[in-house]
Structure 1
Amino acid sequence: MYLWFGALKLFPGGSPAEDLVERTVSALTFGIVGGDLARVGAAISEIGIAVVLLSFRAPRWCAVLLIGHVVLVSTPLVLFPGEMWAGPLRASFEAQYILKNLVTVAAAVVIASSHPRVR
C-alpha cells in the first residue's frame, strides 16, 4: 500500500491526497516547503517505508518510520478540523483515509515488532 500510494504521489495529479499533502506540509513548515517539493517528499518517504517493510531487514527502524509517518499524516485532523469533521464522530472522506492509515500503521508496527530479530 505504501509503495502504491507513494508512487502515485510522484506524478502531479496522481493522488487524490495530493492537495491535502501539499497544504499539510506547507502548514507544518510554515510555508517553507510546499507544492511539488512537499508532494515528492511525501512520495519518497512512503516509497522508502515500503522498501524497508518489504526488505524486513530493519524492523525497529521500520516501526520508528511508521510511527513518525502516521504522526505527520494525522496532523490534518488537527490542522484542518473544519474539513476533516462534519460533526462529532462524523469524519469526512479525507479524515476516514487518515484514520485508515492509523489502523494500517498500528498493524504494521505490531508485525514489525514481533519479528524474531527484534526480540
Structure 2
Amino acid sequence: MTVLRVSVGVVYCWFGVLKLFPAGSPAEEIAAAAMTKLTGGLLPAAVSMPLLGTAETVIGLALITGLLLRPALILFFAHMAGVFTSLALLPGQMWHHGVPTLEGQYVLKNVILVAACLTVTADELTR
C-alpha cells in the first residue's frame, strides 16, 4: 500500500511542479481552458496554472509523506472531478468522431490514478 501511495504521490508532484513554470506542462493549454470554462472566465490562466500546480504538488507531498492524507485525498477527488469535467466542457478538444483525441486520452488515463487513490482511501479508512 505504501508503494502505491508514494508512487501516485511522485506522479502528482511531477505534474504539479510542471504547472508552476510557464509552458512547463504539456497539459497547460487544456488545463487552462478547462479552468476558464469551470470558472466562467473569472480565473485567468496566469492564476489558475500556479493554483493547480500548487494543489497537485500539495496532494502529491501528502501522498508521499502520509501527512494530512485524508484532506489530501478529498482534494484529490475534487481535483479529479474537475479534470474529468473537461471531457464534457471541451468536447472539440477531447473527442474526434466519438474517439478520444490525444488530449482526451491524457485526461482518461487519470482513471488509473482514481483507482489507486480509491484503494489508498479504503486502506486509510480501515485504520
Correspondence 1:6 to 2:16: yes
Q: Which runs of 5+ in 1 are unaligned?
A: none
Correspondence 1:98 to 2:103: no
1:48 alignment partner AA: V
- Equivalent pair of 2:59/2:73 in contact (CA under 8 Å): no
Give TM-score, length-normalised by structure 1: 0.89
1:61 CA drift (Å):
2.4
Structure number with higher helix proportion: 2
Alignment partners' CA distance in 2, 1:63 and 1:10: 21
1:41 aligns with one of 30, 51, 61: 51
The count of residues paired between Structure 1 and Structure 2 equals: 116
Give TM-score, length-normalised by structure 2: 0.84
1:86 aligns with one of 79, 83, 96: 96
Larger RCO: 1 or 2 (CA < 8 Å, sep 6+): 2
1:113 CA drift (Å):
2.0
1:19 CA drift (Å):
1.0
- Equivalent pair of 2:58/2:72 in contact (CA under 8 Å): no
Q: Which runs of 5+ in 2 are unaligned?
A: 1-10
Percent identical among aligned pairs is 34
Root-mean-square deviation (CA, aligned residues, Å) is 1.4
